[in-house]
């Protein structure tokens, strides 16, 4: 009866061997500077954003399953399983510090027991980030297992898909300047209230190629309902220009030095989504739907794994060499070891330690 809802493109991402040394930082003591931060120094992980961080549809088998938030399997904050079973950023960090805290488990919304420091809310736009920032600060301060003053924290911020989907309706409200201003307001809250914090600011991608792709009747219906602006192929150039403007305004904000006024806080652009487009199938030449959930809009487990690997590699790549596409079919990059000709330093890369 429900065969029409079945998703036949489920696939897994081949997890490469993690060959990086997982020893501690050289002095075996917590660093005083965020520019000398080794992965083993991270004690707390957190994330902010929308449904792509909430984890909608990651393990869904039908389009109805896209309403489920698989937070424990989200690319930037999920902690279900381990790196042998789930490629997520926290599962990489567990290899360096098995006691890292904050990652999400299981399914549920932002107020579920397993959400922990994943404060992403499905449907959010950039204007919602300040409230998420306040929620995150509150949860960190309220957690008896976190020393807010001394524990080094890694926060990943990713937002913009829903802003882009509304851009055609109100280009002034959803302008690049307003988008960046909302991010700035959220980062200001983190900067004013959190010590020892490294923030990944992940740039938004162009949504038009995803929203316009043909995945069958139900995918097309879902795209029309949730992102009519992107579904209309006539808006492709408009949305591409908007995505570039979003990226530029965000980059200008971070490169201004606004968040480099203390030794224990920084925000770093991670650009791997900047030029990412839906992968093509080597067999048909069409968009490879095995990276997407049944609604052909959200990423599934394979898409989240590719995003997690790309985020990790961006984090350790030298600042000027950060790749602006998904690191598909590539190995894990290791701190301090050149991989595929890409330079990496011994610490998480910042503008200052990469100079």
Residue with tokens 């449907």: 123
Q: Report whether 274 contacts 205 (CB < 8 A).
A: yes
- Residue of 25, 40, 51, 74 with catalytic role: 51
182 part of the active site: no
Report the C-alpha gap between 153 and 97 in whole angstroms: 13
SS3 content of the chain, % helix, strand, coil (to 5): 35, 15, 50
Token duo for residue 245:
């403007």
Report the C-alpha gap between 190 and 168 in whole angstroms: 31
- Residue of 50, 128, 151, 163 with catalytic role: 163
Q: Give the single-character DSSP code of 69.
A: B
Question: Closest Cα to residue 140, out of 131, 130, 153?
Answer: 153
Report the C-alpha gap between 119 and 136 in whole angstroms: 6
Distance of CA 86 to the CA centre of its chain: 15
Q: Which helix (H) or strand (E) holds 315?
A: helix 301-316
Q: Report whether 316 contacts 354 (CB < 8 A).
A: no
- Residue of 38, 298, 304, 327 with catalytic role: 298
310 part of the active site: no
35 part of the active site: no
Catalytic residues: 51, 163, 298
């Amino acid at each position: 009866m429900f065969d029409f809802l079945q998703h036949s493109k489920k696939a897994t991402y081949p997890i490469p061997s993690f060959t990086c040394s997982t020893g501690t930082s050289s002095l075996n003591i917590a660093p005083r500077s965020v520019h000398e931060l080794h992965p083993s120094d991270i004690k707390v992980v957190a994330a902010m954003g929308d449904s792509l961080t909430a984890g909608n549809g990651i393990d869904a088998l039908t389009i109805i399953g896209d309403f489920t938030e698989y937070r424990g399997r989200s690319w930037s904050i999920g902690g279900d399983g381990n790196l042998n079973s789930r490629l997520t950023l926290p599962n990489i960090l567990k290899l360096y510090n098995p006691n890292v805290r904050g990652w999400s488990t299981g399914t549920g919304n932002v107020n579920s027991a397993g959400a922990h420091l994943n404060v992403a809310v499905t449907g959010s736009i950039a204007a919602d980030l300040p409230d998420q920032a306040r929620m995150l600060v509150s949860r960190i301060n309220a957690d008896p297992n976190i020393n807010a003053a001394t524990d080094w924290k890694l926060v990943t911020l990713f937002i913009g898909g829903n802003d882009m989907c509304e851009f055609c309706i109100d280009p002034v409200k959803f302008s690049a300047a307003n988008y960046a201003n909302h991010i700035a307001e959220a980062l200001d809250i983190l900067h004013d209230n959190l010590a020892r914090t490294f923030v990944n600011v992940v740039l938004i991608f162009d949504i038009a190629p995803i929203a316009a792709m043909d995945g069958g009747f139900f995918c097309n219906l879902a795209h029309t309902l949730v992102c009519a602006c992107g579904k209309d192929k006539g808006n492709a150039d408009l949305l591409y220009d908007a995505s570039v403007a979003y990226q530029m305004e965000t980059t200008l904000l971070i490169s201004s030095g606004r968040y480099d006024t203390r030794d224990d806080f920084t925000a770093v652009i991670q650009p791997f989504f900047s030029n990412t487009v839906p992968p093509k199938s080597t067999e048909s030449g069409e968009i490879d739907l095995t990276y997407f959930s049944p609604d052909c809009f959200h990423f599934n487990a394979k898409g989240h794994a590719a995003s997690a690997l790309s985020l990790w590699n961006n984090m350790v790549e030298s600042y000027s060499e950060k790749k602006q596409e998904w690191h598909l079919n590539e190995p894990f990059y290791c701190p301090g070891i050149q991989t595929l000709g890409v330079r990496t330093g011994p610490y998480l890369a910042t503008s200052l330690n990469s100079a």
